[in-house]
Amino acid sequence: MSGRPPMTLRTGKTLRTGKTLRTGVTRRAARRASLLMGAAALTLLAGAASADTLRIGAQADAGTMDPQAQNIQTTITVLSWIYEPLVTRDENMAKAPMLATAWEQTDDTTWRFTLREGVTFADGAPFTADDVKFTIERSQAPSSQFSGYTAGLTVNVVDDLTVDVVTPKPDPLLPDRLANIPIMDKEWTEANGALTPQDLKSGEESYTALHANGTGPYVLESRAPDSKSVFTLRDDYWGEMADDIETIEFNPIASDPTRIAALLSGELDLVIDVPSQAVARLEASPGIKIEQVDEFRTIFFGFDLANDDPQYVEAEGNPFKKKEVREAISYAVDRDAIVKTVMRGLASKTNQILAPKNNGYLAANDEAPAYDPEKAKELLAEAGYPDGFAFTLDCPNNRYINDEQVCRTLVTMLSRIGLDVTLNAMPRAQYFPKLWERDTSAFMMGFNSPFADGMYALETMLMSRNDDAGEGIYNYNQYANPELDAKIRSARDELDAAKRTALMEEIFSEITDEVLYVPLYNQVLVYAMKDTVTAPVRPDNWLEIRWVTMD
Compute the least distance from the CB of residue 314 to another protein, in Å: 12
Q: Which of 151, 260, 272, 435 binds another protein (CB under 8 A)?
A: 260
Pick between residue 278 and residue 503 the one whose CB is nearest to another protein: 278
CA dist., res. 326 & res. 320, Å (int): 6
Using an 8 Å Cβ cutoff, are 526 and 279 in contact?
yes
Element (H, E) at 331: helix 323-332
CB of 10 or CB of 281, closer to another protein: 281
- 102: part of which helix (H) or strand (E)? strand 100-107
307 vs 509 by CB, closer to another protein: 307
Angle between helices 5-14 and 36-51 (to 10 degrees): 20
CA-closest candidate to residue 197, choices 123, 132, 147, 133? 147
**Beta-bridge partners for 526:** 292
Stretch that binds another protein, among 48-56, 149-157, 274-282, 447-455 (CB under 8 A): 274-282
Output the smallest distance, CB 334 to another protein, in A. 6
Output the smallest distance, CB 466 to another protein, in A: 28
Residues near 449 by beta carbon (within 8 Å), at least 6 away in sequence:
296, 354, 355, 358, 455, 456, 457
Q: Residues 377 to 416: which contact another protein by CB under 8 A? A: 392, 397, 404-405, 408-409, 411-413, 415-416
Compute the least distance from the CB of residue 223 to another protein, in Å.
23
To the nearest whole angstrom, how small is the minimum distance from the Cβ of residue 527 to another protein?
17
Q: How far is the CB of 426 from another protein (least distance, A)?
A: 6
Whole-number CA gyration radius for the chain: 25
The smaller minimum CB distance to another protein, of residues 278 and 473, is found at 278
Mention every residue, 6+ apart, whose C-beta is less than 8 A from residue 174: 111, 153, 165, 167
Q: How far is the CB of 445 from another protein (least distance, A)?
A: 17
**For another protein, the closer CB: 43 or 412:** 412
Task: Please report how close the Cβ of residue 534 comes to another protein at its closest, in angstroms.
Answer: 24
H or E segment to which residue 482 belongs: helix 482-493
Q: At its nearest, how many Å lie between another protein and the CB of residue 273?
A: 13
Residue 13 near another protein by CB under 8 A: no
The set of residues, in sequence order, having a beta carbon less than 8 Å from that of 10 and lying 6+ positions away, is none
CB nearer another protein, residue 14 or residue 424 = 424
Contact segment (CB under 8 A) with another protein among 10-18, 43-51, 131-139, 271-279 equals 271-279
Residue 179 contacts by C-beta under 8 Å, 6 or more apart in sequence? Answer: 85, 86, 87, 88, 89, 95, 98, 450, 451
- Please, which residue, 346 or 362, has the CB nearer to another protein? 346
Site string (277-316) toward another protein, x via CB under 8 A: xx-xx------------------------------x----
Touching another protein, residues 421-480 (CB under 8 A): 422-426, 430, 434
Are residues 113 and 488 in contact, defined by beta-carbon separation less than 8 angstroms? no
Q: For residue 501, how many other CB atoms are within 10 A of its CB?
A: 18
Residue 20 or 258: the one with the smaller Cβ distance to another protein is 258
d(CA 461, CA 449): 10
Give the other-Cβ count within 10 Å of 157's Cβ. 16
238 binds another protein, rule: CB under 8 A: no
Distance of CA 123 to the CA centre of its chain: 28
Cβ neighbourhood burial of 151 (10 Å; 0-12, 13-18, 19+): buried
Query: Residues 59-88, buried b or exposed e (16+ Cβ, 10 A)?
Result: bbbbbbbbbbbbbbbbbbbbbbbbbbbbbb
Minimum CB distance to another protein smaller for 264 or for 504:
264
What element of type H or E holds 13?
Answer: helix 5-14
Binding-site size for another protein (CB under 8 A) equals 35
Closest distance of CB 204 from another protein, Å: 18
Per CB under 8 A, the list member of 148, 182, 275, 302 interacting with another protein is: 275
Of residues 325-354, those binding another protein (CB under 8 A): 334, 337, 341-342
Among 168, 257, 345, 384, binds another protein (CB under 8 A): 257
Q: Taking CB under 8 A as the criterion, which residues in 119-148 touch another protein? A: none
At 478 the three-state DSSP class reads coil
Question: What are the DSSP calls for 23-45, one per residue?
Answer: HHHHHHHHHTTTSHHHHHHHHHH
- Kindly give the pairing relationship between strand 313-314 and strand 533-534: unpaired
Q: Which is nearer to another protein, 211 or 434 (CB)?
A: 434
Closer residue to another protein (CB): 251 or 501: 251
Instruction: Output the smallest distance, CB 198 to another protein, in A.
Output: 21
Contact between 256 and another protein per CB under 8 A:
yes
* Distance of alpha carbon 364 from alpha carbon 350, whole angstroms: 10
For residue 368, the minimal CB distance to another protein (Å) is 16
Query: Do 248 and 533 contact (CB within 8 A), yes or no?
Result: no
Comparison of 361 and 391: residue with beta carbon closer to another protein: 391
Q: How far is the CB of 205 from another protein (least distance, A)?
A: 18
Binding site for another protein (CB under 8 A): 255-257, 260-261, 264, 275, 277-278, 280-281, 312, 334, 337, 341-342, 392, 397, 404-405, 408-409, 411-413, 415-416, 418, 422-426, 430, 434
